[in-house]
Amino acid sequence: MERLKVFLEESDMPRQWYNIQADLPTPMKPPLHPGTGQPIKAEDLAPVFPMNLIEQEVSAQRWIDIPEPVLEKYFLYRPTPLQRAVNFEKLLDAPVKIYYKYEGASPPGSHKPNTSIPQAYYNKAFGIKRLATETGAGQWGSALSMACQMFGLECRVYMVRVSFDQKPYRRLMMATWGAECIPSPSDRTQAGRKILAEFPDSPGSLGIAISEAIEDAVGDPDARYSLGSVLNHVLLHQTIIGLEAKKQMDKIGIYPDVVLGCAGGGSNFAGISLPYVCDKIHGKQVQVVAAEPSSCPTLTRGPFAYDFGDTAMTTPLLPMHTLGHDFVPEPIHAGGLRYHGMAPIVSHLVEQKLVEARAFDQIETFTAGINWARTEGVIPAPETNHVIAAVVNEAKKAREEGKEKTILFCFSGHGLVDLAAYDAFLSGKLIPYALPEEEIQRALKSIAGFPKP
């Protein structure tokens, strides 16, 4: 029997995160202050993030030590296994070996604690007492709730009202970990009250929830804001995934031909791929692919431009692939991939042709996910189904080209609390959806006057 599973001993777990800024052939464009149009300064961000995380955000140091208290919490679920998907390979009947890094065994079921744990730690170390954040589907909110509880921080999560009502399990997770979960829009903030005055029955949006969380944090000197994707320091923390995977593949003497991840804000994709992009920069042959939904095709159809990270235009202007900050994606069932923008690092790598992007329709992704569950067991999160669809696509190409290929991908999380989406698919309620071009053009008008990167 071939080796199906590779563990890493605790003592072999990487002790540093990898910062790709140190290796970029062309440096990234800076975020801009929306008022002045000038590069943002560290002190501009001080009311929002603690200074130790701001330092990580702008650091150019290649390796950054993982603090001992963070390692201790990582050990609750890390190192995660690297697994070979032989049963799925048989189904695909293509000349491919498929390895995946399984991030679904963490307490909330996804890769999110890889950054919620260090973020809670650094905030605590900086003397912060409370974190505020927003959550859409609830994966990020639950991961941050757990981390705050472990480091003795209070946690307040603004959850998009429609998800709060439809996804009771996620908010119950947050409550179990001791966080306060508030449906957004709420009467706790000016931003929320303003919306409620106009639309008392507003279902909320991620944009509104972000505005509420930032306003909440900025208004309390003991509180800061926390974000679960997009930013450089978030992607940095996630590199633990790819660094572990490299060590595990080294153990069995294998190097992948293709590395893939699904991309919403970009954090799990960057987590698995940045250490390989580093190799690629240094001359190694490896293909790196980001999979996104065709209903929110940020990388494949959005331009690289300066744009706000939120709908309410309270963040700095970020250089990224964007569909425009007032883009409203269709209500597809992969909440974690419904974001108008993309991490500046990932966007930059796509611009530099170090990363390729592909978009997949929800029918393709659920078909891939169901086939996965029926062969490999674990029911994937709807987000994860996108990378599985991309793997199916790679296998098909390998079969057509008659070329053997070793595939590595990040299995970002399980779907046990997202089963309503599977229900919709199995009962035929999901339909193929191609985003009309005029929809994108309309949304992009919102960034027409912004500086160009």
Is position 250 an interface residue for a second copy (rule: CB under 8 A)?
A: no
Q: Which of these segments, 164-172, 202-210, 238-246, 338-346, binds a second copy (CB under 8 A)?
A: 164-172
For helices 168-176 and 139-151, the axis angle rounded to 10 degrees is: 10
CB of 118 to a second copy, least distance (A): 15
Are 75 and 114 a contacting pair, CB within 8 Å?
no
User: If you count DSSP H runs as helices and E runs as strands, how many of each does the chain have, helices first?
Assistant: 18, 15
One-letter amino acid for residue 202 of the chain: S
The distance of closest approach from Cβ of residue 338 to a second copy in the complex, given in angstroms and rounded to an integer, is 22
From the list 83-91, 194-202, 355-363, 404-412, the region that binds a second copy by CB under 8 A is 83-91
Q: Which helix (H) or strand (E) holds 143?
A: helix 139-151
Told to check if 67 binds a second copy by CB under 8 A, we report no
DSSP 8-state class, residue 34: T
* d(C-alpha 40, C-alpha 32), whole Å: 5
- In the bound state with a second copy, the residue whose beta carbon lies nearer, of 87 and 314, is 87
* DSSP structure string for 15-40: SEEE-GGGG-SSPPPPPB-TTT-SBP
Residue 147 CA from chain centroid, whole number: 17
Residue of 77, 126, 255, 450 interacting with a second copy (CB under 8 A): 77
Of 173 and 231, which CB lies nearer to a second copy in the complex structure? 173
Backbone angles phi, psi at 223, to 5 degrees: -115, 155
Residue type, 351: E
d(CA 145, CA 120): 9
Q: How far is the CB of 80 from a second copy (least distance, A)?
A: 10
- Which residue from 37, 39, 178, 432 is in contact with a second copy, where contact means CB under 8 A? 178
Return d(Cα 65, Cα 80) in angstroms, integer: 19
CB-nearer residue toward a second copy: 146 or 391: 146
Segment lying near a second copy (by CB under 8 A), choices 6-14, 23-31, 91-99, 272-280: 6-14
**82, burial (CB in 10 Å: exposed 0-12, middle 13-18, buried 19+):** buried
For residue 189, the minimal CB distance to a second copy (Å) is 25
SS3 110: strand
* Beta bridge mates, 292: 359
Q: Which residues pair with 356 in a beta bridge?
A: 289
96 binds a second copy (CB under 8 A): no
What backbone torsions phi and psi does residue 103 show, to the nearest 5 degrees?
-95, 10
Cβ distance to a second copy smaller for residue 148 or 260? 148
Encoded tokens for 181: 């979960």
Q: Does 107 bind a second copy (CB under 8 A)?
A: yes
Nearer to a second copy by Cβ, of 74 and 158: the residue is 74
**Among the residue ranges 232-240, 325-333, 390-398, 411-419, the one whose residues contact a second copy (CB under 8 A):** 411-419
C-alpha angle with apex 128: 124 to 129, nearest 5 degrees? Answer: 95
Task: Pick the piece of the chain touching a second copy (CB under 8 A) from 64-72, 180-188, 236-244, 285-293.
Answer: 64-72
383, 267 contact by CB (below 8 A):
no
Number of residues binding to a second copy, judged by CB under 8 A: 51
- Residue 173 near a second copy by CB under 8 A: yes
Strand pairing report for 317-321 and 16-18: unpaired
- Per CB under 8 A, 7 contacts a second copy: yes
Residue 417 sits in the site that holds a second copy (CB under 8 A):
yes
What is the C-alpha to C-alpha distance for residues 27 and 31, in angstroms, rounded to an integer?
12
Select the span of 120-128, 176-184, 356-364, 400-408 touching a second copy (CB under 8 A). Answer: 176-184
Q: Is 177 in the site for a second copy (CB under 8 A)?
A: yes
Which residues within the stretch 342-381 sit at the binding site for a second copy (CB under 8 A)? 370, 373-379
Cβ of residue 4: shortest distance to a second copy, in angstroms? 5
DSSP state at residue 91: H
Which of 1, 43, 198, 283 is close enough to bind a second copy by CB under 8 A? 1
Q: Please report, as ranges, the residues that interact with a second copy according to CB under 8 A.
A: 1, 3-5, 7-10, 68, 71-73, 75-77, 83, 86-87, 104-107, 109, 113, 146, 149-150, 168-169, 172-173, 175-178, 370, 373-379, 414, 416-417, 419-420, 422-423, 426
